[in-house]
C-alpha cells in the first residue's frame, strides 16, 4: 500500500490532510511522486497525508495530440524524478527497464522519446501513486474552516460526471492548485462540431474518417499548429490543408545549448530574484525557446513536402501567410473562414470541412477556485498573485493554511519553466520540503535535514 494512501471512501470529517491537490496533470503527479518517496523513506508519524482530486476518470495528458511520430521537445532526463533524485524508481529509464525497452531505446541514440511513449511513462507513474488520487471528482469550493482565522481549509468536491452521488469534503492544512491551461481562441470564435481546438484533434478527426473531404484549415504558427498540418495532410490524402497565420513563415525554436540554460533549475532562482524589468526582458529574450515556434526538423519536412507538391503540380499543402482570421462561421457540413490579407488583397472566405484552432493556451487563474478566499490572496501592482520562492501564495494573516500554485500562473515570478515539464522534478521537491517545514512549525517532527533544506528556500515577502 502506498505510504501516502488515503481511504478512497468518504472522509471521516475529523482527520486533516497535510495536503489536498486540485488537478492531477504532470505537475501534481510529480509532487505526488516526491511525497510518495518521502513517505516510503521516513514512514510513520513523519509521513505526509495527501489526496489529489482529478475530474478525469483516469490519468491523461494532451491525449488529443498524441500523434504518431510526434516527439517530445524536452529530454527524457527531465522526467518527473531524475533531476530531483536520479536513483528514484519513477525515472523514465526505470520505466523503460520495466517495459523491456531500455536497450532498444538506447539504440535510437536520441534524448527525445515520442509523445506517445512519454504519455505511457506518465501513466505508469500515475499508477504507482494511484492511492493518493481520487479520479472523477470536480472541486466546486474551497473555504476556511469556521469562516476565517483558521489553519485548516475545507475542499468540497462532487462527481465530475454530474451524477447524484454524494459530495465530499476534505480538510487540509495545505492546498496545491495544478489545474493546467485553458485553450485560447481568437475573439468571437466558439468551438463546435467542425470548429476544433487542437487539444481535441485526434478524437474529432476520427469522426470524419472514411468520408471524402475537400479542405481543412489550421490557424496558428506554433509547434502544435505545424504538427496538426502534417497530421491532417498525412491522414486525409484526398484533402487540401491550409495553414493560416499572420507571420510570413514558421519560426524555428531556439534549442541551442546556451539558450536552454533558461530551463535550468538555477535559472528559476535567478529569475525570482531579478527586478521586474529584468524579468520582462528575460521572458521576451527567450520566448523563442517555447512560444509560437516550431522544431526546425518539422519546418524542413513541411517545406520539403510543399515544394515537392509544387513540382508535381498537385498542391495539397498551402500556406496562407500574412493573413488574419476575422471570423468563423460553423455550417452544417463544415466551417467558413473569413480571412483578410495583411499586406495586399481583398478579404475573402474559405470553406472547409473543419478548422482547427492551434492558437495555444492561457493560464487558468487559481483564484477562480477559491471563491471569497481569493480576496485573502495578496497581489502585486499588476493584479497578479504574489508568490514566494517555494510556490506558496502570499496571503493575509487570516489565512494560516498554505495555498500553493503550480503552472503558468507563476510565470511572472518563477519564469518560463512554470508551465513546462523541465522543472517539475525539482519543483516537486521544493514544495515537498516546504510542507515538511510547515509540519515542523506546527510541532510535527520532520526528518533530519528536511527543515534546513526547506528553510534554505525561504524568501522575504517584501
Residue 462's pLDDT is 32
- Listing DSSP states for 381-408 in one string gives TTSPBPB-TTSBBPB-TTB-SEEEE-SG
pLDDT in tens, 111-126: 999 999 999 999 999 9
Q: Is 97 helix (H, G, I), strand (E, B) or coil?
A: helix
Instruction: Say yes or no to pLDDT of 442 above 90.
Output: no
Question: Cell numbers 469534503 correspond to what residue?
Answer: 169
Least confident piece of the model among 62-71, 155-164, 219-228: 155-164
SS3 readout for 207-245: CCCCCCCCEEEEECCCHHHHHHHHHHHHHCCCCEEEEEC
Q: CA-to-CA distance for 216 and 317, rounded, in angstroms?
A: 10
Say if residues 217 and 317 touch (Cβ distance below 8 Å): no
Inform me whether the pLDDT recorded for 8 exceeds 60.
no
19-180+364-455 domain in CATH 3.50.50.60? Answer: yes
Q: What's residue 14's pLDDT?
A: 64
Beta strands at 354-357 and 137-144: parallel, antiparallel or unpaired: unpaired
At residue 229, does pLDDT exceed 90? Answer: yes
CA angle 63, 237, 315 (to 5 degrees): 115
In this structure, what DSSP letter does residue 140 have?
E
Quick one: fold of 183-253+291-361? Answer: FAD/NAD(P)-binding domain (3.50.50)
Cα–Cα dist 261/158, whole Å = 42
- The number of beta carbons lying within 10 Å of the beta carbon of residue 221 is 25
Over the stretch 341-399, which tens digit does the pLDDT of each residue have?
999 999 999 999 999 999 999 988 999 999 999 999 999 999 999 999 999 999 999 99
Query: What are the backbone dihedrals phi and psi of residue 102, each rounded to the nearest 5 degrees, phi first?
Result: -60, -50
Query: Which of 148-162, 283-297, 307-321, 419-433 shows the lowest mean pLDDT across its residues?
Result: 148-162
- Asked if the domains 19-180+364-455 and 183-253+291-361 are classified in one and the same CATH topology, the answer is yes
User: What are the pLDDT digits (tens) for 141-151?
Assistant: 999 987 666 79
pLDDT at 440: 80
For residue 443, what pLDDT is reported? 60
Q: What was the pLDDT predicted at 43?
A: 76
User: Which 3 state secondary structure label does DSSP give 122?
Assistant: helix
Q: What mean pLDDT value characterizes the chain?
A: 91
pLDDT tops 80 at residue 83? yes
Which whole number is the average pLDDT over 83-103?
98
CB 3 within 8 A of CB 47: yes
- Asked if residue 235 has pLDDT above 90, the reply is yes
Q: How confident is the model at residue 456 (pLDDT cuts 50, 70, 90)?
A: very low
The answer on pLDDT for 245 being more than 70 is yes
List b or e across 59-90, with b for residues whose CB sees 16 or more CB atoms inside 10 angstroms. Answer: bbbbebbbbeebbbbbbbebbbbbbbeeebeb
For 137, the 3-state DSSP assignment is strand
| Domain boundaries of the chain, sorted by first residue | 19-180+364-455, 183-253+291-361
pLDDT in tens, 386-414: 999 999 999 999 999 999 999 999 999 99
Contact 388, 410 (CB under 8 A): no
What local confidence, expressed as pLDDT, does residue 87 receive? Answer: 97
pLDDT of residue 149: 63
Pairing of strands 361-363, 181-183: antiparallel
C-alpha cell at 232: 491532417
Residue 457 has pLDDT above 90, yes or no: no
pLDDT at 448 over 80: no
Residues of the chain with pLDDT > 70, as a percent, come to 92
Tell me: pLDDT of 246 over 70: yes
CA distance 215 to 267: 45
Please compute the mean of the pLDDT values over residues 80-84 and round it to a whole number: 98
- What residue has cell string 473531404? 213
Residue 444 — pLDDT band, cuts 50, 70, 90? Answer: low
Amino acid at each position: 500500500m502506498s505510504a501516502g494512501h488515503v481511504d478512497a471512501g468518504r472522509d471521516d470529517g475529523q482527520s486533516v490532510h497535510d495536503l489536498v491537490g486540485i488537478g492531477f496533470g504532470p505537475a501534481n503527479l510529480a509532487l505526488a511522486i516526491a511525497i510518495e518517496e518521502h513517505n516510503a523513506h521516513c514512514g510513520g508519524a513523519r509521513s505526509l497525508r495527501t489526496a489529489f482530486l482529478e475530474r478525469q476518470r483516469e490519468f491523461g495528458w494532451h491525449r488529443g495530440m498524441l500523434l504518431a511520430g510526434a516527439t517530445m521537445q524536452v529530454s527524457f532526463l527531465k522526467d518527473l524524478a531524475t533531476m530531483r533524485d536520479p536513483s528514484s524508481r519513477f525515472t523514465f529509464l526505470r520505466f523503460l527497464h520495466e517495459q523491456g525497452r531500455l536497450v532498444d531505446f538506447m539504440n535510437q541514440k536520441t534524448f527525445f522519446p515520442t509523445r506517445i511513449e512519454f504519455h505511457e511513462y506518465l501513466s505508469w507513474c500515475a499508477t504507482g501513486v494511484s492511492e493518493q488520487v481520487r479520479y472523477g471528482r470536480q472541486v466546486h469550493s474551497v473555504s476556511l474552516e469556521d469562516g476565517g482565522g483558521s489553519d485548516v481549509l475545507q475542499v468540497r468536491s462532487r462527481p465530475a460526471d454530474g451524477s447524484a452521488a454524494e459530495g465530499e469534503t476534505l480538510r487540509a492544512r495545505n492546498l496545491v492548485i495544478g489545474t493546467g491551461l485553458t485553450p485560447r481562441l481568437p475573439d468571437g470564435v466558439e468551438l463546435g462540431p467542425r470548429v476544433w481546438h487542437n487539444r481535441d484533434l485526434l478524437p474529432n478527426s476520427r469522426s470524419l474518417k472514411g468520408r471524402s473531404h475537400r479542405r481543412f484549415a489550421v490557424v496558428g504558427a506554433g509547434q502544435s499548429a505545424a504538427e496538426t498540418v502534417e497530421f491532417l495532410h498525412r491522414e486525409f490524402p484526398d484533402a487540401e490543408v491550409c495553414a493560416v497565420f499572420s507571420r510570413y513563415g514558421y519560426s524555428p525554436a531556439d534549442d541551442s545549448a546556451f539558450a536552454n540554460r533558461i530551463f535550468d533549475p538555477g535559472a528559476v532562482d535567478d529569475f525570482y530574484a531579478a527586478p521586474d524589468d529584468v524579468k520582462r526582458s528575460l521572458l521576451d529574450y527567450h520566448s523563442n525557446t517555447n512560444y509560437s515556434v516550431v522544431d526546425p526538423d518539422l519546418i524542413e519536412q513541411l517545406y520539403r513536402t510543399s515544394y515537392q507538391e509544387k513540382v508535381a503540380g498537385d498542391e495539397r499543402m498551402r500556406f496562407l501567410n500574412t493573413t488574419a482570421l476575422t471570423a468563423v462561421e460553423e455550417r452544417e457540413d463544415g466551417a467558413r473562414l473569413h480571412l483578410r490579407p495583411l499586406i495586399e488583397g481583398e478579404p475573402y472566405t474559405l470553406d472547409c470541412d473543419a478548422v482547427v484552432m492551434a492558437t495555444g493556451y492561457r493560464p487558468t487563474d487559481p483564484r477562480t477556485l477559491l471563491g471569497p478566499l481569493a480576496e485573502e490572496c495578496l497581489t502585486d501592482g499588476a493584479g497578479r498573485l504574489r508568490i514566494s520562492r517555494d510556490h506558496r501564495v502570499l496571503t493575509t494573516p487570516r489565512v494560516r493554511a498554505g495555498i500553493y500554485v503550480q503552472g503558468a500562473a507563476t510565470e511572472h515570478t518563477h519564469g518560463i519553466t512554470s508551465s513546462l515539464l523541465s522543472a517539475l522534478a525539482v519543483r516537486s521537491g521544493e514544495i515537498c520540503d516546504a510542507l515538511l517545514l510547515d509540519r515542523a512549525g506546527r510541532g510535527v517532527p520532520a526528518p533530519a535535514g528536511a527543515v534546513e533544506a526547506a528553510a534554505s528556500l525561504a524568501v522575504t515577502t517584501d
